[in-house]
Structure 1
Amino acid sequence: MLHTVVIAPDSFKGTIAAASAAAALGRGWQQVRPHDAVRLLPMADGGEGTVDAFATAVPGAQRMPVTVTGPEDTPVEASWVLLPPTGDAPNGTAVVELANTSGIELLGSPARLRPLDAHTRGFGEAIAAALARGVSRLVLGIGSSSSTDGGTGMLTALGARFTDAAGRPIAAGGRGLADLAAADLSGLPPLPAGGVTVLSDVTNPLLGPRGAAAVFGPQKGATPDDIAALDAGLAGLAVVMTADPDAPGAGAAGGTGFGLLAWGAILVPGSAAVAELVGLDEAVAEASVVVTGEGSYDGQSAAGKVPAHVGAVAAAGGVPVALVAGRITDDADVSGFAGTASLTDLAGSGAAAMAEPERWLVAAGAALAGALL
């Protein structure tokens, strides 16, 4: 009997993107069951790989190259994705991600982190390119940020002005926020007719101990003194802009969530929104089995992560779902999955799995194909 298999993993962060992970799982599955219909539906939550996931999952999606100013002030070759027209977006939807334009992965190594000087200008330049195309709707992924500039770089690229007490433009990055005296958003373009939807798996506010600087600053290289300065700068930004700094997600991407709220965007949980946009429900309804996964499945993974969402959709449709993860920790609840595969177990160690993720994802796909059907 032939089956339809939907493969819908998140990225295995730090090792392999969702689209590549889905492709590897699919190859492994078809080594064992070559006649099954395999549909690749890589997922994302707004971080690294969001553009790739849409490009793979949505028929007719077009990748649009763009050169932007990266977080080190050097040119970066990036891309956004144009989704085909729909009834509510007759001129198409643009998917733009912060990760491939202003993300921390672009800095390459800890020695190149710029906690005070990295910025979101490139992200804004890519958004401007999408708007110039005349799209009806923007979908923006804001994970994997390299900076804590409150989105000021992005907004400046779109036409806003942030000035000091003498009326001069402030420096780029979080450093410039210390001199901020005024914000003029009158030069921003109007939102496209279908609005701006922001994908984020972060609910942190802009300021304070759960804010952008305190929680995410250290991973961007910020020292305790830097964190205090950045939080103070973001507090000054909150004074001159009208968005709510306590709104869930305002602290996402170094405060870029706050900057987007000030423009009029809507912040939504990333995995659920991506699932809707790529047609996960419809794909699962036609499937015999679903395979999902992520890099580390632990006791926190049931809270809004991609495997939990995919699992819930499959369960609602009565379709068995399997889990693949780089590692599955002892505190993880896997009772809802029809089968599991750990790359660490298959490879013999976490280091071996991370060194060759594609190889072990192929092995995982083959193992599940043999076990589940």
Structure 2
Amino acid sequence: MNVIIAPDQFGAGMTSTDAAEAAAEGVRKAAGIEAVICPMADGHAGTSRALLYGKSYETVSVTAADPHLRERTADYYVDEDGHAFIDSEAILGLQLLEPNERQLLDTSSTGLGQVMAHAAGAKSITIALGGTASVDMGLGMLEALGAKIRGEDGSRLQHLRTKDISGAAAIQFPTKKLPPIRVLCTSFYPLTGMDGAVYRTGRQAGESDSVMEFLHQAVLNTVPLFPVPDAAAKPGSGAGGGIGFALGCLGAELHEAVVYTAGVHQLAAKLQHASLILTGESQDGMPEHTSHVVPYIQKLAEQADVPCADMTITTDRTGDTRATVERAAIEAIRPYLK
């Protein structure tokens, strides 16, 4: 029996890597076999570790700004070949802010730019672009990389926050040379429109309609200042509150995170020799899967005509233990044991 384990993270306290290893222990106990571990991710925190599974890498700690420009320690990773991996959500995520701090107007993407600048000596930079607290079109990030943003009177705008995009009249892009950048987007939506960055992020943050309307108009007015304004309609440009758009203008490649992660693990090829694949996540009482991972794995399994067992569990957000995931894997595989 050839079993593949390809889960998403199980709550904020368990990455997909840890969940996959816990599930593998459950398979070992239930079936006495070693499963093939392929930790999955869709761009949220933990994506870098999922991509680096089975490889040697170094964790690099750096001081960077949180969404409110407060200094904190952020980590990124550099593999044995010198390629850097950054989880934007660990730097800019809504989870870093208290509920009463989640006003879009006061947030910034500066911290991501600071981490990128620190990693600029790498052979390449892969950025997992998950949920972010800002919708500043990446202007804060660009400023940290050396860009100069000026207002109508020619004065330089500094320490940029989302509200400042309405005052931008010119953008001088950074001249600092960066390595090739690959962006892994959680959601492949555009920058503008009702299904774009402002309204999606605004709804997640609980922002008012008036603020979202103001910001959306500011985004529309600022798009022409970028070197590739047509990229605003490109899928993925709205990821990370418009950071996808800014990085695309810097020449970055944009990918759908879950598809890219499956490719790194050569999942489609491994399914050709599989008897069963296990996937899953933790849900907070939601009727449907909240990540992109489980539906995508189910789709791949169907295409390969391989049974797919779902070990998704419901959590109250108090954190899931290895034992919980291990038991879920045992229950998921049991019907397939002869």
The two structures share one fold, judged by TM-score above 0.5: yes
State the partner residue of 2:246.
Answer: 259
Cα 1:309–1:226 change in 2 (3 A) is same
Percent identity among equivalent residues? 27
- Superposed CA RMSD: 2.6
Structure 1 residue 177: deviation in Å? 0.9
Paired with 1:293 and 1:149, the residues of 2 have a C-alpha distance of: 33
Cα 1:127–1:282 change in 2 (3 A) is farther
**Higher relative contact order (Cα pairs below 8 Å, separated by 6+ residues):** 2
Structure 1 residue 30: deviation in Å? 2.8
Paired with 1:282 and 1:247, the residues of 2 have a C-alpha distance of: 29
Paired with 1:176 and 1:146, the residues of 2 have a C-alpha distance of: 15
Cα 1:258–1:100 change in 2 (3 A) is same
Q: Are 1:96 and 2:83 an aligned pair? A: no
Cα 1:367–1:130 change in 2 (3 A) is same
Q: Are 1:236 and 2:226 an aligned pair? A: no
State the partner residue of 1:23.
Answer: 21
Structure 1 residue 259: deviation in Å? 0.8
Structure 1 residue 59: deviation in Å? 2.1
State the partner residue of 1:89.
Answer: none
What aligned pairs does 1:32-47 form with structure 2 within 5 A after superposition? 32-33=30-31, 35-47=32-44
What aligned pairs does 1:214-253 form with structure 2 within 5 A after superposition? 214-243=199-228, 244=230, 245-253=232-240
The normalised TM-score by structure 1 is: 0.80
Cα 1:268–1:240 change in 2 (3 A) is same
Cα displacement string for residues 331-373 of structure 1 (whole angstroms, at most 9, x for unaligned residues): xxxxxxxxxxxx24xxxxx54xx44533432221121243322
Cα displacement string for residues 47-82 of structure 1 (whole angstroms, at most 9, x for unaligned residues): 222123224x24223333332111122222222222
State the partner residue of 2:55.
Answer: 59
Instruction: State the one-letter code of the partner of 2:78.
Output: L
Instruction: State the one-letter code of the partner of 1:64.
Output: V
Instruction: State the one-letter code of the partner of 1:363.
Output: R
How many residues are matched? 332
- Is the 2:9–2:281 Cα contact (8 Å) retained in structure 1? yes
- Which residues of structure 2 form unaligned runs of 5+? none
Question: What's the secondary structure of 1:183's corresponding residue?
Answer: strand
State the partner residue of 2:118.
Answer: 129
- Is the 1:206–1:258 Cα contact (8 Å) retained in structure 2? yes
- Is the 1:290–1:319 Cα contact (8 Å) retained in structure 2? yes
State the partner residue of 1:178.
Answer: 166
- Which residues of structure 1 form unaligned runs of 5+? 86-91, 326-342, 345-349
Instruction: State the one-letter code of the partner of 2:236.
Output: G
- Is the 1:117–1:172 Cα contact (8 Å) retained in structure 2? no
Instruction: State the one-letter code of the partner of 1:181.
Output: A
Paired with 1:299 and 1:372, the residues of 2 have a C-alpha distance of: 25
- Is the 1:115–1:221 Cα contact (8 Å) retained in structure 2? no
Paired with 2:116 and 2:174, the residues of 1 have a C-alpha distance of: 17
Q: Are 1:140 and 2:98 an aligned pair? A: no
Q: Are 1:366 and 2:330 an aligned pair? A: yes
Cα displacement string for residues 264-292 of structure 1 (whole angstroms, at most 9, x for unaligned residues): 11211111111112333454455443211
Cα 1:103–1:249 change in 2 (3 A) is same
Between 164-173 and 252-261, report the one with greater CA deviation: 164-173
Cα displacement string for residues 179-232 of structure 1 (whole angstroms, at most 9, x for unaligned residues): 111100142424x2xx32211132322223222112221322422222122112
Cα 1:12–1:237 change in 2 (3 A) is farther
Cα displacement string for residues 118-160 of structure 1 (whole angstroms, at most 9, x for unaligned residues): 111111122222222x31x222111110111101111111121
Question: What's the secondary structure of 1:261's corresponding residue?
Answer: helix
Instruction: State the one-letter code of the partner of 1:266.
Output: E
Structure 1 residue 96: deviation in Å? 1.1
State the partner residue of 2:155.
Answer: 167
Cα displacement string for residues 279-333 of structure 1 (whole angstroms, at most 9, x for unaligned residues): 334544554432111335989769x9222333344445554321122xxxxxxxx
Question: What's the secondary structure of 1:116's corresponding residue?
Answer: helix
Paired with 2:29 and 2:319, the residues of 1 have a C-alpha distance of: 18
Instruction: State the one-letter code of the partner of 1:50.
Output: T
Q: Which of the residues 321, 334, 350 maps onto 2:308?
A: 321
Instruction: State the one-letter code of the partner of 2:163.
Output: R
Q: Which of the residues 331, 342, 357 maps onto 2:320?
A: 357
Structure 1 residue 116: deviation in Å? 0.9
Question: What's the secondary structure of 1:207's corresponding residue?
Answer: coil
Q: Are 1:155 and 2:155 an aligned pair? A: no
Question: What's the secondary structure of 1:76's corresponding residue?
Answer: strand
- Is the 2:136–2:241 Cα contact (8 Å) retained in structure 1? yes
Paired with 2:119 and 2:99, the residues of 1 have a C-alpha distance of: 31
Q: Which of the residues 182, 193, 206 maps onto 2:191?
A: 206
- Is the 2:88–2:129 Cα contact (8 Å) retained in structure 1? yes
Structure 1 residue 98: deviation in Å? 0.6
Paired with 1:131 and 1:223, the residues of 2 have a C-alpha distance of: 37
Instruction: State the one-letter code of the partner of 1:53.
Output: A
